[in-house]
Chain A
Amino acid sequence: MYEELKDFGFTVITVALDRSAEDARPYIEKAKPQHPSLIDSEHRVAHLYGMINISTVVWIDEEGSIVRPNAIEYGSDIFKEFHGLESAPHLNALRAWVKEGKLTDGPEQVRAKLMLPSADEQLARAEFALAWHLHQAGKTEAAERHFERAGELSPFDWTIRRGSMPIRGMNPMGPDFFEIYKEWEAAGKPTYLTRAVENQRT
């Protein structure tokens, strides 16, 4: 996709919400990208953009404006059975935007699709950031307390609850993760769009 579109004034920036370059390295080396592939161990981009899961994609135009807000999209249909999302609609829309400047949503529609954070969600992000700092300083027990608190405050932010697991020595593919998944399912699988609709109602 990048190869097809790169001569149309387009680039990709990938950001790995991983605790180290080493965790992300296999993915990046396999992809051999010609575009920036960055490591975000502090989850700075996740916090700045209000991201709550992966893979989250955002479209940013030539002037630095967001023209398509946070959405969960995948580059292929490998995991389609699991998440139910087709990759083709997004990739087709992307092609139309890059090659022809086509956008289905104007700024007001983009704003209507934004998930705006609650005070607890912002506090969860601060707790995560503090936990990461403590972890880097070798204060594992203290870090654990703050990772736990972050997860309590924002139970459906996977970048926090699942994203902290490798850092804490927990298995992100194991029983701890399935507990989170069941809770998320029971809550109606909240995502960017379901939260945006709630925002519109209030």
Chain B
Amino acid sequence: MRRGSFTILDNGAESQVDAVVRQDTVWLSFNALKTALGWERKPEGLCQGDMCIPLEDEQDLLSDDGVDLAGLAELLTRPLALDPEERVAYLGEAARDQSAQLMSLRAPDFSLPDLDGKLHSLSDQRGRKVLLVAYASW
């Protein structure tokens, strides 16, 4: 069992929190969960915004060391790429949420650098028609 710093990437947003790694299972305290993923423990259960997950039915997600990250990800149907040895995890977008986003036909905003490192956003172009082209040297 190893307690120590752990990196959580929540759809890219990075946090360093305390976690216990025991036989490839990662346990996050409720504090760490709140810092890294914005889920807060309330009387109703584990909550984010208006959504709450009652914890009475999810006892196997809980231990003295906190919440099982993989178990939580599964409950949220969010994809979890985990490297317990390197102490880093990436939590991505659930297929259902990604599908809903695509079906809304709203073009997701993004902010990326040009060759000089200057950031440009899609939203800078609001009011113009945009041809977005993704290419590569490969």
- The answer for the CA separation of A166 and B24 in the assembled complex, in Å, is 30
Q: Is the CB of A10 within 8 A of B137?
A: no
CB neighbours (8 Å) of B115 from chain A are 21, 24-25, 28-29, 37, 39
Q: Is the CB of B83 within 8 A of A146?
A: yes
Determine the interface band of chain B, counting residues with CB < 8 A from chain A.
35 or more
Shortest Cβ gap from A4 to chain B (Å): 12
Produce 1/0 per residue, B80-124, CB < 8 A to A: 111101101111111100110011011111101111010010111
- The answer for the CA separation of A113 and B33 in the assembled complex, in Å, is 38
CB-contact partner of A55 in B79, B107, B135, under 8 A: B135
- A residues 90-129 near B (Cβ < 8 Å) are 94, 97-98, 107, 110-111, 114, 116-119, 121-123, 125-127, 129
Shortest Cβ gap from B5 to chain A (Å): 13
CB-contact partner of B95 in A14, A39, A49, A121, under 8 A: A121
Give 15 pairs: A residue, B residue, CB < 8 Å, sorted on A: A12-B132, A14-B133, A39-B114, A44-B112, A49-B134, A51-B134, A54-B134, A56-B134, A60-B125, A65-B107, A66-B106, A114-B102, A118-B95, A123-B79, A162-B138
A residues lining the B interface (CB < 8 Å): 8-18, 21, 23-29, 36-40, 42, 44-51, 54-67, 75, 94, 97-98, 107, 110-111, 114, 116-119, 121-123, 125-127, 129-131, 133-134, 139, 142, 145-146, 149, 159, 162-163, 165-166, 172-173
